């Protein structure tokens, strides 16, 4: 097994707790699926949100889908003028088979953030 750092991002249409939770759940589950991860392989996860999202913590969504033993942290993204709005990003540290390729995940409008990663969308 090898320690991996997996990236992902998604967007929401508006600053609403349900929208943040739904988008975060979708993102976390997609990262888990594409990387064949189980919660016991996860070391930690950091979520960031752009300044226009504050209705809920993304970590709440991770807890709702069973990541109760994974240390989670929420933080603010740097407020860069002209940056994509209403973005939730994640950095997940997890153990995966050494021969597996990391699968990063960018959903919804966040696909523009890493268009260079064809398999990430």
Q: For the segment 65-119, what is each residue's pLDDT rounded down to a tens digit?
A: 999 999 999 999 999 999 999 999 999 999 999 999 999 999 999 999 987 876 6
- How much is the pLDDT for 68? 96
86 catalytically annotated: no
Residue 108 is encoded by which pair of tokens?
A: 């919804």
- How much is the pLDDT for 118? 60
114 catalytically annotated: yes
Of all residues in the chain, the percent with pLDDT exceeding 90 is 93
2 catalytically annotated: no
Averaged over 37-65, what is the pLDDT?
97
38 catalytically annotated: no
**Catalytic residue, candidates 22, 30, 74, 95:** 74
- How much is the pLDDT for 17? 98
95 catalytically annotated: no
Averaged over 45-55, what is the pLDDT?
98
**Catalytic residue, candidates 26, 95, 109, 114:** 114
- How much is the pLDDT for 114? 86
**Catalytic residue, candidates 7, 49, 86, 108:** 7
């Amino acid at each position: 097994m090898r320690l991996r750092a997996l990236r992902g991002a998604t967007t929401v249409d508006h600053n609403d707790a349900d929208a943040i939770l739904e988008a975060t759940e979708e993102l976390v589950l997609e990262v888990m699926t594409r990387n064949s991860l189980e919660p016991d392989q996860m070391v930690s996860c950091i979520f960031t949100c752009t300044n226009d999202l504050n209705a809920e913590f993304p970590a709440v969504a991770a807890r709702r889908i069973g990541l109760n033993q994974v240390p989670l942290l929420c933080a603010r993204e740097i407020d860069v003028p002209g940056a994509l709005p209403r973005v939730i990003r994640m950095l997940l540290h997890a153990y995966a088979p050494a021969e597996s390729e990391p699968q990063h995940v960018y959903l919804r409008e966040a696909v523009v953030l890493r268009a260079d990663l064809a398999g990430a969308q």
